[in-house]
Structure 1
Amino acid sequence: MHHDNGIWVSTEDLNREDSFLQSAEQEFAVENLDQTTGNWQTGRRDFLKLMGFGLGAATLAASCEIPVKKAIPYVTKPDEIVPGVANYFASSFVQGGDYCAVLVKTREGRPIKIEGNSLSSVTGGGTSARAQASVLSLYDNRRLQHAGKVNGGNVDMMEWAGLDREVKAKLAAGGNIRVITNSILSPTAKKALAEFTAKYPTASVVTYDPVSSSALLAANEQCFGAAVVPNYKFGDAKVIVSFGADFLGTWISPVEYAHAYAKNRKVAGKKGAKMSRHYQVESHMSMTGSNADNRVMIKPSEMGAAIVALYNAISGNSGGPALNDKAAAAIKKIAAEL
Structure 2
Amino acid sequence: MIFYVFSAVSGRIQDKIDKTALHSKGSEVSYRRKGNRTMNLERLSRIMSALSDATGLPVIWKSGANMLVETALPLRHRFHTHPFCLTVKETLENRCLRNDDADISRIVVRNRQHFIHACHAGAEELVIPIFYGDSYCGTIMIGPFAGPESATPYPGCEKLLRQLPELKPAQRQALVELVEMLIVPMAGELADGHAENLLPPNELIRHETVRHAIRIMRERFRARLTLSMLSRECAVSTSHFQHLFRVHTELNALDYLQRLRVLEARRLIALTDLPLGEIAGVCGFSDQSRMALLFRRYFGRAPGSYRKRASH
Q: TM-score range by the shorter chain?
A: under 0.3
More strand by share: 1
Q: Of Structure 1 and Structure 2, which has the larger fraction of its residues in helix? A: 2
Larger Rg: 1
TM-score of the aligned structures, taking structure 1 as reference length: 0.20
